[in-house]
Homo-oligomer: A and B are copies of this chain.
Amino acid sequence: MEFNRKNVIVGQSGGPTAVINSSLMGIYKTAKERGANKVYGMLHGIQGLLERKVVDLQAQMPDDLALELLKRTPAAFLGSCRYRLPEVELHHPVYEQIFDYLNELEVGYFFYIGGNDSMDTIKKLYDYGQLIQSDISFMGVPKTIDNDLAVTDHTPGYGSAAKFIATMTKEVICDAMVYDIPIVTVIEIMGRNAGWLTAAAKLAQGEDCMGPDLIYLPEVAFDYDAFEEKVKEIMKHKKAVVIAVSEGIRVKDGRYVCELATSTPEFVDAFGHRALTGTARFLADSLAAKLGCKTRAIELSTLQRCASHMVSRVDITEAFQVGGAAVKAAFEGQSGQMIILKRVSDQPYICITDLYDVHKIANVEKKVPLEWINEEGNDVKEALIHYIKPLIQAELTPTMVDGLPRHLPLTKSPIQNQIARTV
């Protein structure tokens, strides 16, 4: 195939997940199998590319063992960034710099693994490519624990985070029940505007576990008074109350619940996202003061996106597949598209990949449908559980060495400009 004489480049962007490296593997292996010449990796995404920080992936993955370890390595192997490209404009120096370097590297296929913000990057690169009639293919590969990408049934990374959240929620509930005293445990789960991750706490419920007593998603305005009343009501017949809350729940006037508490120094990233933290702490402290009982705040924090020791096999397999599908489509002439997952059957669970115009995905957030949340806004409905459950199935055992999961570290420093010279 004529296409394949060209080189491939891949980058990772946005927040890490436990399976993003499986997508990287999907791209690398599929590209190699389909005859690609070199497969480059951008270090720290588009930001690294602008600094000419690029590695040759073959040198990083000399054998099958390395590939197996990579699959089990959390976070972005190549590094990530939160870099927002400027608006597309002919002769813009940033775009000229990027395209000059891609041409220098003889790149024909550009893959970017990421979420909303990363799809914005793919969209802009594709648009600029159209302006200058570049023949480079730009493809988006979905990834985000938040599951908030439009059109796709779900996003790789979500299933594993959901599995970890449900597992820890089950274990925390066991722990919360041990004392015969009134105690409220508030578990804070990620999700700025979308409650997909918090909803996963509900999966803890089953024959061996009551599940969380209350679940609050950011899709519904949070009413503190109603919350406190509800907790009191539950405590009449149950000593240990466990509550799952999204970090992003807001009161009616739009303020985040965590903003009601303290004035911690804030860090705002390039996309204007503030770090939200302290929601569980605020609620636990308020309840302790009001109800006079022991309370506990647990933030799953970064752990929920990096716990590669507890991944969903369905998720890690799909992460690989979307990478492979992107390469196949690009090699067949597609560009400006993101791979999406389409659920064709629930029982048995069957999911296929498809393509979708990245312009219609970038910067759009998919939230939990309101009909999947109960009327009181403090629990999720059966339909939501049915949706999530297939995504957390089966495991991929970590490779344990000396008692701990073994990962694949980046072994070489970037070959930077020197690459361009030797190509």
In the bound assembly, the distance between CA atoms of A289 and B44 in angstroms comes to: 26
Chain A, 310-354, contact with B by CB distance < 8 Å: what is the 0/1 string?
101000000000000000000000000000000000000000000
Q: Which residues of B contact A199 (CB under 8 A)?
A: none
Chain A, 411-422, contact with B by CB distance < 8 Å: what is the 0/1 string?
000000000000
Copy tally for this chain in the complex stands at: 2
8 Å CB contact of A179 from B82, B172, B174, B308: B82
Q: Which residues of B contact A392 (CB under 8 A)?
A: 403-404
A310-B309, A392-B404, A407-B170 are known contacts. Are A48 and B180 too (CB-CB below 8 A)? yes
Beyond contacts A175-B306, A298-B299, A298-B301: 19 other A-B pairs, Cβ-Cβ < 8 A, are A16-B174, A44-B178, A48-B180, A75-B177, A79-B177, A79-B180, A168-B303, A170-B405, A172-B306, A175-B305, A185-B302, A203-B403, A206-B401, A208-B408, A265-B285, A277-B297, A296-B302, A297-B301, A298-B302
Are B409 and A209 touching (Cβ within 8 A)? yes
Are B285 and A171 touching (Cβ within 8 A)? no
A365 in the interface, Cβ–Cβ < 8 Å? no
In the bound assembly, the distance between CA atoms of A206 and B404 in angstroms comes to: 10
Output the nearest chain B residue to A162 by Cβ-Cβ distance: B403
Number of interface residues of A (CB under 8 A): 78
A133 in the interface, Cβ–Cβ < 8 Å? no
In the bound assembly, the distance between CA atoms of A101 and B253 in angstroms comes to: 58
Q: Which residues of B contact A163 (CB under 8 A)?
A: 403-404
Output the nearest chain B residue to A171 by Cβ-Cβ distance: B306
Are A73 and B285 touching (Cβ within 8 A)? no
Output the least CB separation between A130 and chain B (Å): 29
Are A81 and B180 touching (Cβ within 8 A)? yes
Output the nearest chain B residue to A393 by Cβ-Cβ distance: B403
In the bound assembly, the distance between CA atoms of A296 and B267 in angstroms comes to: 10
Q: For residues 163 through 193 of chain A, which have their beta carbon under 8 Å from a beta carbon of chain B?
A: 163, 166-168, 170-172, 174-180, 185
In the bound assembly, the distance between CA atoms of A392 and B171 in angstroms comes to: 20
Q: Which residues of B contact A296 (CB under 8 A)?
A: 275, 301-302
Output the nearest chain B residue to A285 by Cβ-Cβ distance: B264
Output the nearest chain B residue to A53 by Cβ-Cβ distance: B180
In the bound assembly, the distance between CA atoms of A204 and B75 in angstroms comes to: 16
User: Would you mind naming 10 contact pairs between A and B with Cβ atoms under 8 Å apart?
Assistant: A16-B175, A69-B208, A163-B404, A174-B407, A185-B302, A208-B406, A275-B296, A299-B301, A303-B303, A397-B397
A301-B299, A303-B171 are known contacts. Are A179 and B80 too (CB-CB below 8 A)? yes
Q: Which residues of B contact A406 (CB under 8 A)?
A: 208
Measuring CB to CB, which residues of chain A are less than 8 angstroms from any residue of chain B?
12, 16, 43-44, 47-48, 69, 73-76, 79-82, 163, 166-168, 170-172, 174-180, 185, 203-204, 206, 208-209, 262, 264-265, 267, 275, 277, 281, 285, 288-289, 294-303, 305-310, 312, 389, 392-395, 397, 400-409
8 Å CB contact of A180 from B44, B203, B264, B303: B44
Are A307 and B168 touching (Cβ within 8 A)? yes
Q: Which residues of B contact A395 (CB under 8 A)?
A: 400
Q: Which residues of B contact A16 (CB under 8 A)?
A: 174-175, 178
In the bound assembly, the distance between CA atoms of A363 and B264 in angstroms comes to: 38
Are B174 and A73 touching (Cβ within 8 A)? yes
Question: Across chains A and B, which 6 residue pairs bring their CB atoms closest together, nearest first?
Answer: A392-B403, A75-B174, A175-B306, A44-B180, A171-B306, A80-B178
